[in-house]
Chains A and B, each alone.
Chain A
Amino acid sequence: MNRSSRSVTLVLITCGVAALGFGLWNRGSHPGGATTRPYGHGGGFFGWWGRPFGGYSGAHNPGVSPSHTSRGGFGSTGHSVSS
């Protein structure tokens, strides 16, 4: 895994997220009728954008020994969907 690339990604996203306040993306009804048609958004954007990003908050699973785990069996070529 290319960790330096990941760090760059996280910095970029953190910058983006920092510009948002929690609930900033909440939206009201649309005068053009979007909320009365099936085409428009009806809700707001909440959630992850307003939360601390990245990493794990959970503890290591005590019932599992890492020595029994293999990794790297998917994505080892580094190819991505959009590349």
Chain B
Amino acid sequence: MKRIPIEPRDNWKGIVESQGFHFHSPDDRPYWDESAYYHLTSAEIDTIETATAALDEMCLKAVDHVIETKRFEPFQIPLAFVPMIVQSWRRDEVTLYGRFDLAYDGVSPPKLLEYNADTPTSLLEQAVVQWFWFKDRFPDRDQFNSTHDRLIEAFRRLLAETKQSRLHFTCVETSLEDFMTTGYLRDVAIQAGFDTEFTPLPLLGFNHRLRRFVDQNDRPVDVCFKLYPWEWMVREEFSKYLLLNTTRWLEAPWKMLLSNKAILPVLYELFPESPYLLRASHDPLRFDIPQVRKPILSREGANVAVMLPGKPPAETEGPYGPPYVYQEYHPLPTFDGHHPVIGSWMINGHPTGIGIREDTGLVTGNTSRFVPHIFS
């Protein structure tokens, strides 16, 4: 695994924008960064793929464990939603996607930092933009990237399972990144055979006569992809209508358990020997163990505290607070002063590719840069 500087393509902004990628430089800071790339070996890619599949399998067993043992309390999910989660799990409702964030240096086994199981982003840049970069720059090499095709498979499976040809999409459309990511998924769904509609989240309605969610034209919403987290939905005004269970949501409600960092202690408890898991607990680890404190519900690396023995905690800013989980600190590798995190995608039950985000700080957040990769 190497980080190699390279000259960006001429007119790279125009190129990536022609691919629908308009959030490459938010607030005039670089997010898409093609002034370097990561070059991995085929064996390293195989290692990541194997780890991703193993982590997914462990996660599914962890969900089953939480449900069977009724261990919901650490997740802080409103109790009224537990039956909805259980039902969606027992129905084996389709999951489209998820992104494992891994620390990997090309030598030691990848380590799970967290699982973005409900609303993972960086999808368009992973599936499409870095693919075209690779085709432009290294057409005789390879890239770990079948995300697009697996997404089509996933939507076809959903179409067959639900037998509903119309699929609604919703997100907070004033966020360009959310809107384009949702748009990309909508494009993929069309290719899979769905008729699609987009409803801005604030216009999603509830019709009291039908007792159904409806779109902005008052048509029933039977199946809906939401790029909006469950942990917010179950705490907002319309949450009570979710309990009527008249709309099928993507991701499925059972993903609430995996998108919550309270799953990390469960995973470690069930699989303490796994080479891919770091020690994790709901309580602080022994004082002399380097550790990271994370809110169970937080996003973009906010409010993460790195606690190293003998040093004051280094905490990122943000709006999130307790409850926390404590995870053994695992230093990210360093390449030319940059710390990469591997985002490894799980789509329709398959590991499908990686996107690498790097930062000069120890915590990957929303100012980290996306750097493309190849392997050979």
Using a CB–CB cutoff of 8 Å, the interface residues on chain A facing chain B are: 1-2, 5-6, 9, 12-13, 15-17, 19-20, 27, 30-34, 37-43, 45-49, 51, 54, 56, 58-61, 64-66, 68-76, 78-83
Contact check, A37 vs B142: say whether CB atoms are below 8 A apart: yes
Contact check, A1 vs B148: say whether CB atoms are below 8 A apart: no
Q: A71-B203, A81-B175 are in contact. List 4 more A-B contacts (CB 8 A).
A: A1-B202, A32-B376, A39-B144, A56-B215
Contact check, B22 vs A13: say whether CB atoms are below 8 A apart: yes
Per the bound structure, the CA–CA distance linking A8 and B155 in Å amounts to 29
Nearest-neighbour CB distance to chain A for B350, whole angstroms, equals 7
Q: Is B300 located at the chain interface by the 8 A CB criterion?
A: yes
Nearest-neighbour CB distance to chain B for A4, whole angstroms, equals 9
Q: Is B208 located at the chain interface by the 8 A CB criterion?
A: yes
Interface of A is mostly: loop
Chain A proximity mask over B174-209: 1 for CB below 8 Å, otherwise 0: 111111110100111011000011101111111111
Q: Is B140 located at the chain interface by the 8 A CB criterion?
A: yes
Contact check, B148 vs A43: say whether CB atoms are below 8 A apart: yes
Per the bound structure, the CA–CA distance linking A65 and B218 in Å amounts to 8
Per the bound structure, the CA–CA distance linking A76 and B138 in Å amounts to 45
Q: Is B227 located at the chain interface by the 8 A CB criterion?
A: yes
Interface size on B, residues (CB 8 A): 79
Cβ 8 A contact of A82, one of B190, B191, B214, B300: B300
Cβ 8 A contact of A56, one of B144, B205, B217: B217
Contact check, B142 vs A71: say whether CB atoms are below 8 A apart: no
Contact check, B174 vs A9: say whether CB atoms are below 8 A apart: yes
Residue pairs across A and B with Cβ atoms less than 8 A apart, 20 shown, are A2-B174, A5-B174, A6-B200, A13-B22, A16-B18, A16-B19, A30-B142, A32-B138, A32-B141, A39-B143, A42-B146, A45-B148, A47-B188, A66-B218, A69-B208, A71-B204, A75-B236, A81-B172, A81-B177, A81-B178
In the complex, the 7 A-B pairs of residues with the closest C-beta atoms, listed nearest first: A73-B238, A80-B175, A75-B201, A47-B190, A48-B187, A73-B237, A64-B218
Interface of B is mostly: mixed
Q: Is B17 located at the chain interface by the 8 A CB criterion?
A: yes
Contact check, A69 vs B205: say whether CB atoms are below 8 A apart: yes
Q: Which residue of A lies closest to B232 (CB)?
A: A79
With contacts A41-B149, A58-B217, A61-B218 known, is A82 near B177, CB below 8 A? yes
Chain A proximity mask over B22-64: 1 for CB below 8 Å, otherwise 0: 1000000000000000000000010001000000000000000
Nearest-neighbour CB distance to chain A for B234, whole angstroms, equals 11
Nearest-neighbour CB distance to chain B for A19, whole angstroms, equals 4
Could you say which residues of chain A place their CB within 8 Å of the CB of B207?
A: 64, 68-69
Q: Is B131 located at the chain interface by the 8 A CB criterion?
A: yes
Per the bound structure, the CA–CA distance linking A19 and B21 in Å amounts to 12
Contact check, B183 vs A48: say whether CB atoms are below 8 A apart: yes
